[in-house]
Structure 1
């Protein structure tokens, strides 16, 4: 599949399932390759990843539901949130947790002071690239995914339950699995509002 067609095929999949043909090890290799080959500023490789499959994947979303219950304004709001978590995220096969290794960011800030104020922003850009690359790799493998951001609400629970080093800061969660319902057609802002070609 061409890169352009792969981009068009990648969509946010909210209805996930567990009918996955790849082994956990094969999926882990897909994720590792996507992240390892994604560029970062000064090649500082600040992105860290934990892949949760099986009971640990389920545990993450139960912990998330438990934490969100503390934030819910009323029982109906919480029940709606819980239904979304169970249908869209927990129903999937696994979840990829994306982290920034803040010790690496700090090291570059100290050792290259001229660009110190830029390194955290650059680490976020590296995340965007790594997350997108991972999403495309999952798409190529026939898997659906979405990108979620329940951090920082769940940061403490994640650290306590999944052996996360103290210098790793949670940045995103990517539940993935079989595609159980196709995404709606994607709409686009008018090209003239987004793009300019300037040439001499």
Structure 2
């Protein structure tokens, strides 16, 4: 059966070949991110997800900081590959940084102590949903993106450079831009290994 949501999910693909040939304006991109995060569900409607949108030179600066944070951690002979990968992210229009506000998590733990151990887990789930929501919204708008995880290596540099509140915990980074390459065939594992159906 046809389903609009599933069709949108199918459009969402990882794009590493990013460019700056977008028709969407910066204002439209920002509004898209805001609305996608706003509409993403969260446990107890906690709305713990936070997003920082870096455009142009600010996005390039993020990937420069990431490169320098990784330099002492990556063997010199392998650093060229790492550097090229980071450059491909910086070649896009911008980067969305996804955070979870730990003050919200702690507040819920205090308010509902019987669920205290679960709130950090639910916060991570909320972040994942927000990331997926933005990614699908980007795909629908013809914007390419990928999801990266250079936290916690870059956390300190990000916090000091953009004056991020101390309670915000960096969870993921999403470089985005125009799709400068096609997408290969996507493969799926066998349904029998993934689903159990009881009727």
Q: Which category of TM-score, normalised to the shorter sequence, fits these structures? A: over 0.9
CA distance in 2, matches of 1:66, 1:128: 27
CA displacement, residues 3-33 of structure 1 (integer Å, 9 cap, x when unaligned)? 2111111100011001111111110100010
Question: Is 1:32 paired with 2:34?
Answer: yes
CA distance in 1, matches of 2:118, 2:100: 15
Q: 1:9 aligns with which of 8, 11, 15?
A: 11
Residue in 2 aligned with 1:105? 105
Q: 1:48 aligns with which of 43, 50, 74?
A: 50
5+ long unaligned stretches in structure 2: none
CA displacement, residues 115-152 of structure 1 (integer Å, 9 cap, x when unaligned)? 01100000000011111011000001000100000000
1:159-178 map, 5 Å:
159-178=159-178
Question: Is 1:137 paired with 2:137?
Answer: yes
Cα drift, residue 183 of structure 1: 2.2
CA distance in 2, matches of 1:162, 1:20: 25
What is the TM-score with the length of structure 2 in the denominator? 0.97
Cα drift, residue 196 of structure 1: 1.6
CA distance in 2, matches of 1:167, 1:99: 9
CA displacement, residues 92-115 of structure 1 (integer Å, 9 cap, x when unaligned)? 110000001001100110111010
Residue in 1 aligned with 2:92? 92
CA distance in 2, matches of 1:192, 1:101: 38
Count of aligned pairs between the two proteins: 197
CA displacement, residues 61-109 of structure 1 (integer Å, 9 cap, x when unaligned)? 00101111111122x211110011112x111110000001001100110
CA distance in 2, matches of 1:52, 1:195: 39
5+ long unaligned stretches in structure 1: none
Question: Is 1:72 paired with 2:74?
Answer: yes
